[in-house]
A and B are shown apart, each in its own frame.
Chain A
Amino acid sequence: MSTPALPERPLPTPTRESQGYWEGMQEHELRLQHCTACGKVRHYPRPVCPHCFSMESEYRKAPLGGAIHTWTVCHHPFNFFFKASAPYIVALVDMDAGVRVNAPLRGVTEADLRIGQRVTMQFEMVNKETTLPYFVAA
């Protein structure tokens, strides 16, 4: 039996709405969609502001700090690309900018995890089109 080829990493397909977020990642910045009319932030990206219904928006640079809202530790690789890295922690973080980001948390052991723990976003280039976020302890 031959060894099956390693599956490709799942990659984001930026949309017209989300392109600014992914461009920010490539420049190691967290850029979030803000309503140009009322100024409110929204994530994940979408065409209409749910607060004032404006369709005008822009991407603004946001701070990289946040606090852990919750987490999971992924043991079973539902996509075998991630088999080698399992188990890995994925933290859901309340960013200081007022949205949440789900990303791997590195350099922290499972036993030390707690809600409210401060973390900082970092960036990892996975290929020349795509950079993804991860967190480390602040």
Chain B
Amino acid sequence: MAHALRGKAAVSGIGETAYTRGTSKSGLALQLEASLKAMDDAGIDPREIDGCIPYFPGGGIAEDFIANLGIKDLTLSAFIPMGGATCVAALQMAAMAVATGVCRHVLISVGRTGYSGARVSTRLQQFPQFALANEFEAPIGMFAPAQLYAQGARRHMELYGTTARHFAEVAVTTRRHAILNGNVVMNKPLTVEEHHASRMISDPFRLFDCSLESDGGAAVIVSAADRARDLKKPVVSILGVAEGHPDSPASIAQRDDLLEFGLVKAAARAFPMAGVGPKDIDVAEVYDCFTFTVIRQLEILGFCKTGEGGPFVMDGRIGLGGELPINTHGGLLSQGHVVGLNHVIELTRQLRGTAGNAQVKDAEVGLVTGYGDMGDGSLAILGRAA
């Protein structure tokens, strides 16, 4: 029997601001600008939005959306505290809301001044999810995700022979895709040599293994599938969606297997729900807070076995024209850091057939992942409606 949520919701609108380093706008203004674009894209009057899932902290809260958009009867206001896994997990919550009739149109949005405002190490101190890391790890000099995730990457290298060359391939390929997009922070080509020469941040992560601290806003509207058919754009259906939480969710250090992410559990649910497997995926937008995180998620998603992610990304496989094009917009590594909502937007564009120079030919089914906090995971499988 088909899963109760399969195909019941659709991504009906997408919007994003310019991605920059430096802005005079507030996080909330960026978030609203992107949101208005998403409503225009869908052909929905802002007052019709009745569900609001803003990324938090940063940007606005539901009250701001009611005040700015004139929403008369908001029926759902929610935060999802999963860091980088938030946006894709929000697709699940939005799908549940529209499938049950609680909402008609749910707005998922991010507004961020990650460059102009508080930087990463300051920002994370405010997350309750980081309380244990703040107590036990910050005092000994471990603050930032680049440090906390580096230990898992190092272990993968020691156990399986994954190398900086593999990391570089993800960075260089993603940059090549970013240049095709145009609305990106990093718009100059990157070579493997330049990757290797970039300064070390937290071994094994060099500067070009790390995602950007940037300013920008992004928004997505999820509507009930039957309503989406009446809107402006081709229907991009949510076929499968799930979130997953790793064991020892607030501490990577205490997890039996540092490389077990919540995505393990999310993938075990989302693929069967969608009724597809890794071989059916035409394009993958994979949360790329770090190059290594992409490599490990490709293993978890079943595109290759554990330990084989490094060699898997080589020889053009993950580039446009390859077997599995990934991050066709430039990702968090090269486009901008809006917590992966730009990945959802790009996948929607790919499945509408409007991805321009980065279009994957005949893309019909694709996936998007989220990865956040200490390894929370989320996965959505979207499809072009027939």
- A residues in contact (CB < 8 Å) with B: 9-15, 18, 43-44, 69-76, 78-79, 82, 85, 87-88, 90, 92, 99-104, 110, 114-115, 126, 130, 132-134
Enumerate chain A residues within 8 angstroms of B144, measured Cβ to Cβ. Answer: 78
- Complexed CA–CA distance, A132 and B201 (Å): 24
Contact B202 A72 (CB under 8 A): yes
Enumerate chain B residues within 8 angstroms of A79, measured Cβ to Cβ. Answer: 121, 138, 141, 143
Contact A78 B135 (CB under 8 A): no
Contact B140 A78 (CB under 8 A): no
Contact A90 B139 (CB under 8 A): no
Contact B201 A102 (CB under 8 A): no
Other-chain contact of A100, B147, B159, B250, B253 (Cβ < 8 Å): B253
Contact A102 B135 (CB under 8 A): no
Contact B155 A70 (CB under 8 A): yes
If A10-B134, A78-B147, A92-B151 are given as contacts, then 12 extra A-B residue pairs at C-beta distance below 8 Å, sorted by A number, are A44-B135, A44-B136, A44-B250, A69-B151, A70-B152, A72-B202, A76-B146, A78-B120, A85-B141, A90-B140, A102-B151, A115-B158
Contact B135 A15 (CB under 8 A): yes
Taking the closest CB of chain B, its distance from the CB of A7, in whole angstroms, is 11
- Complexed CA–CA distance, A110 and B120 (Å): 27
**Residue B154, interface by CB 8 Å:** yes
- Complexed CA–CA distance, A43 and B250 (Å): 12
- Complexed CA–CA distance, A79 and B254 (Å): 23
- B residues in contact (CB < 8 Å) with A: 120-121, 132, 134-144, 146-147, 150-152, 154-155, 158-159, 199-204, 250-251, 253-254, 258
Taking the closest CB of chain A, its distance from the CB of B277, in whole angstroms, is 32
Contact B139 A102 (CB under 8 A): no
Q: Given A70-B152, A76-B199, A79-B121, is A92 in contact with B253 using a C-beta cutoff of 8 Å?
A: yes
Taking the closest CB of chain A, its distance from the CB of B373, in whole angstroms, is 15
Enumerate chain B residues within 8 angstroms of A100, measured Cβ to Cβ. Answer: 253-254
Enumerate chain A residues within 8 angstroms of B135, measured Cβ to Cβ. Answer: 12-15, 18, 44
Enumerate chain A residues within 8 angstroms of B146, measured Cβ to Cβ. Answer: 76, 78
Q: Given A70-B152, A70-B158, A115-B155, is A76 in contact with B202 using a C-beta cutoff of 8 Å?
A: yes
- Complexed CA–CA distance, A104 and B138 (Å): 11
Enumerate chain A residues within 8 angstroms of B154, measured Cβ to Cβ. Answer: 70-72
Question: Could you write out 21 A-B pairs with CB less than 8 Å apart?
Answer: A9-B139, A15-B135, A18-B135, A43-B254, A44-B251, A72-B151, A72-B202, A72-B203, A74-B141, A74-B147, A76-B200, A78-B120, A79-B121, A85-B141, A90-B140, A92-B253, A99-B254, A104-B141, A110-B203, A115-B159, A133-B140
Q: Chain B residue with minimal CB distance to A104?
A: B140
Contact B151 A74 (CB under 8 A): no
Other-chain contact of A74, B136, B158, B202, B250 (Cβ < 8 Å): B202
Enumerate chain B residues within 8 angstroms of A13, measured Cβ to Cβ. Answer: 135
Enumerate chain A residues within 8 angstroms of B120, measured Cβ to Cβ. Answer: 78
**Nearest 8 A/B pairs, CB to CB:** A73-B203, A72-B150, A70-B155, A78-B121, A78-B144, A75-B200, A10-B138, A78-B143
Q: Chain B residue with minimal CB distance to A102?
A: B253
| Number of interchain pairs (Cβ within 8 Å) | 104
- Complexed CA–CA distance, A78 and B136 (Å): 16
Enumerate chain B residues within 8 angstroms of A87, measured Cβ to Cβ. Answer: 200, 203
- Complexed CA–CA distance, A13 and B254 (Å): 19
Contact A75 B199 (CB under 8 A): yes
Taking the closest CB of chain B, its distance from the CB of A118, in whole angstroms, is 16
Contact B141 A88 (CB under 8 A): yes
Contact A132 B199 (CB under 8 A): no
Contact A90 B142 (CB under 8 A): yes
Taking the closest CB of chain A, its distance from the CB of B299, in whole angstroms, is 17
Contact A10 B200 (CB under 8 A): no
Most buried by B among A13, A43, A72, A132: A72
Taking the closest CB of chain B, its distance from the CB of A60, in whole angstroms, is 18
Enumerate chain B residues within 8 angstroms of A43, measured Cβ to Cβ. Answer: 254
Q: Chain B residue with minimal CB distance to A93?
A: B253
Q: Given A72-B154, A74-B202, A78-B120, is A103 in contact with B254 using a C-beta cutoff of 8 Å?
A: no
Q: Chain B residue with minimal CB distance to A72?
A: B150
Taking the closest CB of chain A, its distance from the CB of B193, in whole angstroms, is 19
Other-chain contact of A103, B134, B140, B150, B152 (Cβ < 8 Å): B140
Taking the closest CB of chain A, its distance from the CB of B11, in whole angstroms, is 35
Enumerate chain A residues within 8 angstroms of B132, measured Cβ to Cβ. Answer: 44
Contact B203 A75 (CB under 8 A): yes
Q: Given A70-B154, A70-B155, is A102 in contact with B203 using a C-beta cutoff of 8 Å?
A: no
Taking the closest CB of chain A, its distance from the CB of B213, in whole angstroms, is 12
Taking the closest CB of chain B, its distance from the CB of A137, in whole angstroms, is 18
